[in-house]
Structure 1
Amino acid sequence: MARLLFVVLALAVAVSPRVADASSERGPVVLELFTSQGCSACPPADKLLAKLARDNGIIALSFHVPYWDHMGWRDPFALPVSVQRQRGYARAMKERSVYTPQLVVQGSAHAVGHDRPAIERLIAAAPPSASITIALAARQPPTLRIEIPDLALPQGGAQLWVIAFARSEVRQVFDGENAGHTLHHTNVVRWAAPMAAIEAVPAQLTVSAAEADGADGIALVLQRPRQGAIIAAGQVALR
């Protein structure tokens, strides 16, 4: 698991009118693509994710996994936390194995990452979520003001993940299954970790995100315990 990157500076349960309004709106649908530059079936899924990411109602993230690196090409974006998160979903969904390209929708269902009809059906059927409001209070170091609206928390609370990403990455692959191809990736996860357990809402947090300096954006994902369904999400651009 990636080490904790953010320090919680404040937590309160006072709600502002802006947060109360947010709870009545449908939040974004989170798409998590588990992909690898060493997987020949992944480039079509990478392209599809780029198209889906253009929808303002979607938070699209590319988690690169390292378990294809033995095929002759080491993915420069692969992170141990990516496969740990993917395996967490496998346990939550009672699946026996993981694969690429796998696209997880709202933390509750999955499909092959290039199967657009199946993915669109899952997006349409995704359980509703709330919007997390994120404001950039300072740039050096990045400091976030986070507001989680009043919503139905599961028993035992929910887990808040922080995910820092690069908006676009392009790499030429020289070996392995994709040798000779130039691959384009969208919203490539560079760091990810659980940040806090949320046991009461509405909540307000101020977070110093110094180790996300250099990323293009941050997504926050609030989900049920043991990496269950996503119940709230939001994102903010850092530059």
Structure 2
Amino acid sequence: MRWMKHACLIAAFTAIAGAATAAPRYVLELFTSQGCSSCPPADELLAKLADDPQFLALSLPVDYWDRLGWKDTFAKHAFTERQYAYARIRGDGQVYTPQVVVNGSEHANGANRRAIDASAETTTPPQLPVSVKRSGDEIEVTVGATGSGSPRATVVLLPYLGSRAVAIGRGENARRKIAYTNIVREIIPVGEWSGAGASFKAKLANDQGYDGVVVLVQEGTPANPGAILGTALLPLHGPRA
């Protein structure tokens, strides 16, 4: 089971290996927390959406509910900062859990499939050609060209864990065991893109046990993220029995 969602995420990106399958139309970033009683339905829904090739579904656990009696074992303050940055850029100031941000531009209640679909339909799917491969201990990313007039964008790597279950001992979800899907572990900027074809290289820590890495080409900067222009995925481990 821990590898199932990882395999689905890989299947959604068979275009990277040279097949003609289209890349996902919607990047979903679920801001969730093990300390939030409203989040388990959203975590479950995200796992189902990860089976749908039109979605690239990611979990970004935040740390602002750690004060409720349970410290989220996956939370990173960088994910909290990213969620607040999205709200600032959108101008609505809405920060909550469970919140899904779609294609870096719209948001919805992460437990409400209809709301997610409605938000998704108002966004522009990522269309910029992006490829990624591993060369020795380096990750190599290639981004296509669109010509002059392209917005300033940042290329970021999001290494992730495919699927993990957590037994929660205290707080609002005490005594529950909850499965999390495609859990982002870092946000790693690797360079800027401004319309011309470009290549980038980066290294990942070898001892973190990541299952794969997602590449996003995203308008703005990591501190001020905007619309997602392109995406690609590199599996780092194959399915295990």
If the TM-score is normalised by the length of the shorter chain, which range does it land in?
Answer: 0.7 to 0.9
Match for residue 136 of structure 1 among 131, 134, 146: 134
Q: CA deviation at 1:66?
A: 0.5
Q: Which residue of 1 aligns with 2:198?
A: 203
1:101 corresponds to 2:87? no
Query: Do 2:133 and 2:140's aligned partners in 1 also have CA atoms closer than 8 Å?
Result: yes
The 8 Å contact of residues 154 and 224 in structure 1, kept in 2 or not, is answered as no
Aligned counterpart in structure 2 of residue 217 of structure 1, from 212, 217, 223: 212
Aligned counterpart, 1:232: 230
Aligned-residue offset at 1:26: 5.9
Identify the range of structure 1 (70-79 vs 26-35) with the bigger mean alpha-carbon deviation: 26-35
Q: Is residue 62–residue 187 contact of structure 1 (8 Å, CA) maintained in 2?
A: yes
Q: In structure 1, what residue type is equivalent to 2:194? A: E
Query: 1:147·1:202 contact (CA, 8 Å) conserved in 2?
Result: yes
TM-score of the superposition, structure 1-length normalised?
Answer: 0.83
Q: Secondary structure at the match of 2:120?
A: helix
**Aligned 1:46-57 pairs, distance under 5 A:** 46-57=43-54
TM-score, reference length from structure 2: 0.82
Deviation at 1:156, TM superposition (A): 5.6
Question: 2:6 matched to which residue of 1?
Answer: none
Q: Give RMSD over aligned pairs.
A: 2.3
Question: Hey, what does 2:62 align to over in structure 1?
Answer: 65
Structure-2 change in CA distance of 1:71 and 1:153 (3 Å): farther
For 2:31 and 2:207, the matched residues in 1 are separated by: 21
CA distance in 1, matches of 2:89, 2:207: 28
- Measured after TM superposition, the shift of residue 213 of structure 1 is 4.5
Residues 30 and 153 (structure 1), Cα distance of their counterparts in 2 relative to 1, 3 Å cut: farther
Judged with a 3 Å threshold, the aligned counterparts in structure 2 of structure 1 residues 43 and 27 are, in CA distance, closer, same or farther, namely closer
Contact 2:60/2:184 (<8 A) preserved: yes
Output the CA distance in 1 between the equivalents of 2:207 and 2:55.
22
Residue 155 of structure 1, CA deviation = 5.3
Structure with greater contact order relative to length (CA < 8 Å, sep ≥ 6):
1
- Contiguous gaps of at least 5 residues in structure 2: 1-14
Structure 1 residue 223, shift from structure 2 partner? 1.1
- The question of whether the paired residues in 1 share the 8 Å contact of 2:38 and 2:97 is answered with yes
Q: What is the rounded CA distance, in whole Å, between the counterparts of 2:229 and 2:86 in structure 1?
A: 15
Residue identity matched to 1:61: L
Deviation at residue 235 of structure 1 after TM alignment: 1.1
Kindly state the Cα deviation for residue 126 of structure 1 after the two structures are TM-superposed: 2.6
8 Å Cα contact 1:59/1:235 also seen in 2:
no
Task: Give, in angstroms, the shift of residue 40 of structure 1.
Answer: 0.3
Structure 1 window deviating more from structure 2 (148-157 vs 42-51): it is 148-157
Matched AA of 2:92? E
Partner of 1:170: 165
Question: How far apart, in 1, do the equivalents of 2:152 and 2:197 lie?
Answer: 12
The 1:60–1:136 alpha-carbon spacing in structure 2 relative to 1, beyond 3 Å, is same
Alpha-carbon distance in structure 1 between the residues aligned to 2:149 and 2:68: 42
| Contact 1:28–1:234 (CA under 8 A) maintained in structure 2 | no
Aligned length: 216
Task: Pick closer, same or farther for the CA change 1:201–1:213 going to 2, 3 Å.
Answer: farther
**After superposition, what is the alpha-carbon deviation per residue over 1:108-158, rounded to whole angstroms, capped at 9, x for unaligned?**
1000000101112223343031242112223xx3x2221212236765621
Matching of residue 188 in structure 1 with residue 157 in structure 2? no
1:89 maps onto 2:77 in alignment: no
The 2-side partners of 1:179 and 1:66 are apart by 17
Identity in percent: 36
Structure 1 residue ranges without an equivalent (≥5): 1-17
Further displaced range: 33-42 or 52-61: 52-61
